């Protein structure tokens, strides 16, 4: 029985695969470090090399020994989980000999804006600013206590934490409305927003105070028949309250 002829393309691909496989096995044999895989999927000698570099960071526990007053202040604020060396830099040498080396004390805005400059990806409620608009020319620490940033200053504007909403509202017909026109916000919300939440409108009649046909509001405001407009749907099912002209 005569065997079918193997196409030249298959032979070429097989040769190429054989060359690649041979090259891989050669490289694996001669270029893999001898200590690779001794402890895990890495070069074991790297552990000793890292040890030889010496310690740069001391850890927050070392700071507590001398700065317990600052630690206690920080433990009461939103920065309680932020390690000291994130803002003050490596403190290993300072911990070994405090009189010889002092940690960095940030005096510009660059450290704070790493976390607090406006970023759409950050969760709502996280304090954010637009750095070139928020008190330009001032250091953050002139208004905020770094270890407990709600002391002595708390945000006066909702946009300090809700920057995305504030930016949308700024270009809408609701730009002139104070946030408290529609939201009931207890004073405690400014210092403890997660424990004291802001209340939101729940009925169409709330919007009707301005937009119903018989509302006592300026004539240029759009009017609707509150009884039939939108049927059973609430106003914010179709309109985004912070920018009601935008398409939903």
Could you tell me if residue 187 is inside a domain?
no
pLDDT at residue 155, as a whole number:
66
Arithmetic mean of pLDDT, 114-138: 85
Give the total number of structural domains in the chain: 2
Give the pLDDT band (50/70/90) at residue 247.
low
Residue 80 and residue 120 share a domain: no
Question: For residue 11, how many C-alpha atoms fall within 13 Å in the half-sphere facing its CB?
Answer: 4
What would the pLDDT profile of 167-176 be if each residue is shown by its tens digit? 888 888 898 8
- Cα separation, 109 vs 133, whole angstroms: 13
b (16+ CB within 10 A) / e for 37-65? eeeeeebeeeeeeeeeeeeeebebebbee
- Cα separation, 113 vs 105, whole angstroms: 15
Give the pLDDT band (50/70/90) at residue 13.
very high
Lookup: tokens for 72: 């206690």
Could you tell me if residue 82 is inside a domain?
yes
Domain that holds residue 95: 54-105
Residue 129 and residue 83 share a domain: no
- Cα separation, 93 vs 30, whole angstroms: 41
What would the pLDDT profile of 145-161 be if each residue is shown by its tens digit? 889 887 766 666 787 77
Residue whose structure tokens are 């004390």: 105
Could you tell me if residue 129 is inside a domain?
yes
Domain closes at, from 174, 191, 210: 174
pLDDT at residue 46, as a whole number:
92
Residue 115 and residue 137 share a domain: yes
Cβ–Cβ < 8 Å for 147, 74: yes
Residue 144 and residue 124 share a domain: yes
Mean pLDDT value across the chain: 88
pLDDT at residue 68, as a whole number:
92
Helix residue ranges, H only, the chain: 8-31, 45-52, 60-64, 68-75, 84-88, 92-96, 110-116, 163-170, 204-211
Residue 93 and residue 59 share a domain: yes
């Amino acid at each position: 029985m005569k065997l079918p002829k193997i196409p030249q393309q298959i032979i070429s691909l097989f040769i190429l695969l054989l060359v690649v496989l041979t090259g891989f096995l050669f490289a694996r044999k001669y270029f893999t470090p001898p200590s690779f895989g001794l402890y895990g999927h890495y070069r074991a000698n790297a552990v000793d090399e890292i040890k030889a570099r010496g310690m740069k960071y001391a850890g927050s526990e070392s700071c507590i020994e001398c700065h317990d007053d600052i630690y206690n202040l920080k433990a009461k604020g939103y920065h309680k989980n932020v390690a000291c060396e994130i803002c003050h830099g490596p403190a290993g040498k300072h911990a070994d000999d405090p009189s010889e080396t002092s940690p960095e004390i940030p005096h510009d805005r660059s450290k704070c804006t790493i976390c607090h400059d406006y970023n759409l990806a950050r969760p709502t409620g996280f304090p954010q600013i637009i750095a070139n608009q928020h008190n330009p020319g001032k250091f953050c620490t002139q208004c905020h206590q770094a270890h407990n940033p709600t002391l002595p200053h708390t945000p006066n504007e909702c946009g300090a934490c809700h920057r995305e909403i504030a930016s949308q509202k700024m270009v809408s017909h609701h730009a002139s409305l104070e946030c408290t026109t529609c939201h009931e916000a207890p004073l405690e919300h400014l210092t403890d927003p997660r424990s004291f939440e802001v209340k939101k409108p729940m009925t169409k009649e709330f919007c009707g105070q301005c937009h119903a046909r018989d509302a006592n509001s300026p004539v240029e405001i759009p009017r609707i028949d509150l009884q039939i407009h939108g049927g059973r749907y609430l106003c914010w099912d179709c309109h985004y309250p912070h920018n009601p002209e935008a398409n939903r």
